Amino acid sequence: MEYTEKMAKENFTVIVEFILLGFSDLPKLQVFLFAILLIIYMNILIGNGLIIVITTVDSTLQTPMYFFLGNFSFLEICYTSVTLPRMLTNLWTQNRTISLIACAIQLSFFLILGVTESFLLAVMAYDRYVAICKPLYYPLIMNHKVCVQLVVVSWIIGIPGQLLQTYKVISLPFCFNELNHVFCDVPPLLKLACGDTSMQEFSVYAVAVLLGMFPFIIILGFYFKIITTILKLPLVTGRRKAFSTCSSHLIVVGLFYGSGIITYLIPKSSQSGIEKVLSLFYTIVTPMFNPMIYSLKNKDVIAALRKLLSKILA
């Protein structure tokens, strides 16, 4: 017994880096995966970058809704850049090692930005709630100062808790260093820890409920009131217009929370392949579709894009 404990202690004390296995079990698809992920990353940068530019320079888009959309697009670029560049590097160089410090940094930014996205989606839902349910008070309630404060709170609210979360996870005694995932995340890291990690797992899910599900419940509450108000509108055209202003946001909320909830509810005994695909979905696919979701059904965004492109090509 003492010998086993001694060997376990020796194992986790020498671990100063992890090996991100990623999709190493698909050696023949490495080049293909690199090309696909590179195209996706370029689309994310260009698409969300265009949203940021047009919501900043176009005078017709200087409203709270597009102010939040611009911030959300910037967040999507940051969120994706935490994980995707390293994935591309690992696929290109086949060097899959990541130091303990680099893993901690990646994990902390990933968790903090995830919380930011949750609260920013809630803020955008609040904006739609005020616009539809209290239209006469909209300019007064959603003034520029309030919009800035809501965005700032969304960006900083998750920092203390997620830094503590990162410290608690990364300071665990690790017996293994092969991380069967595409980036540093809490569930796969807990699988590498020695001994009982039930307390850490409880902490993870408690924080996820508090900082992740709480904004989701708020979003559902706002949309319940929004739908109730829309159904009371006398004209069908008015209902259709009101629904169209919310549909894009609802799609993004569904993509982000749907894949995220499924990922964290998968039992530890499940195959990690499903976790990898789902984690790619809410960290990469959702940010890629964000510009298309908000622009395809929005005449103002399309008009602003055309105006910008005409200036560039003139």
pLDDT for 4 equals: 43
CA distance 58 to 15: 52
CA distance 66 to 298: 11
- Judged on CB neighbours under 10 Å (0-12, 13-18, 19+), 99 is exposed
Residue 60, pLDDT > 80, answer yes
Cβ atoms within 10 Å, residue 33: 15
Q: Name the more confident of 298 and 49.
A: 49
Tell me the pLDDT tens digit for each residue of 172-202: 888 888 888 888 988 888 888 887 777 777 8
| Annotated domain spans of the chain | 2-313
CA distance 24 to 102: 20
pLDDT for 123 equals: 95
Tell me the pLDDT tens digit for each residue of 221-277: 999 998 888 888 776 666 676 677 777 888 888 888 877 777 666 555 454 567 777
| Of 97-101, 107-111, 206-210, 221-225, minimum mean pLDDT range | 206-210
What pTM was computed for the model? 0.87
| Of 21-30, 91-100, 121-130, 133-142, minimum mean pLDDT range | 21-30
Average pLDDT over residues 54-70: 89
Q: Which CATH superfamily is domain 2-313 in?
A: Rhodopsin 7-helix transmembrane proteins (1.20.1070.10)
Residue 46, pLDDT > 80, answer yes
pLDDT for 175 equals: 85
Mean pLDDT over the full length of the chain = 83
Average pLDDT over residues 51-56: 90
Radius of gyration of the chain (CA): 22
Greatest CA span in the chain, whole angstroms?
Answer: 78
Strand 178-179 with 17-20, pairing: parallel
